[in-house]
Amino acid sequence: METAIRTGTMQVTVLCLVAAGILLAVGVAGIPASLGLLVFLLALAAGLYYTRTDADAGTVLGVDVDGLLSALWLAPVLAALPLVLEPAASAEELQALGGLVGLVGMLNYFLRPVYLLAYSLVEAVHERSRGPTER
């Protein structure tokens, strides 16, 4: 389960950072929020979803690259969420929203030890409550 927590938090962090990069790039390019941008991001997500491959990149530096690549299509969807919440955002506001999405991703990464500690505590309480005969 600890591996699942580590892998899941890394995936969420990377997806948030890619989504933040998309929003920052769009904002720097001077493109404000619009229905066309929303449709483009959703079309990009659909394209990434349907062109997924079963690559065998494995694990690099403790990061499950295969899992990241298979979930990469979610990054444009995540970048589209602020456009739904703030449909009239200017280019500068998109940059700020991208920064917030990146901040959420990094916060998730830095909270990973807290997630693991909480899991360990719940596991210990569960083991203790089972008693010696059920182990």
Beta-ladder partners of 64: 59
Distance between alpha carbon 128 and the CA centroid of its chain, in Å?
34
pLDDT one digit per residue (tens) for the chain, 135 residues? 777 888 888 889 999 999 999 999 999 999 999 999 999 999 999 998 998 777 776 766 666 777 777 788 999 999 999 999 999 999 999 999 999 999 999 999 999 999 999 999 998 898 888 866 655
Distance between alpha carbon 35 and the CA centroid of its chain, in Å?
23
Domain boundaries, the chain: 2-130
The SS3 assignment for 125 reads helix
Per-residue DSSP letter, 86? -
DSSP secondary structure of 25-83: HHHHTTPPP-HHHHHHHHHHHHHHHHT-------EETTEEHHHHHHHTTHHHHHHHHHH
The SS3 assignment for 95 reads helix
Among the listed residues 8, 11, 16, the one whose alpha carbon sits nearest the alpha carbon of residue 119: 8
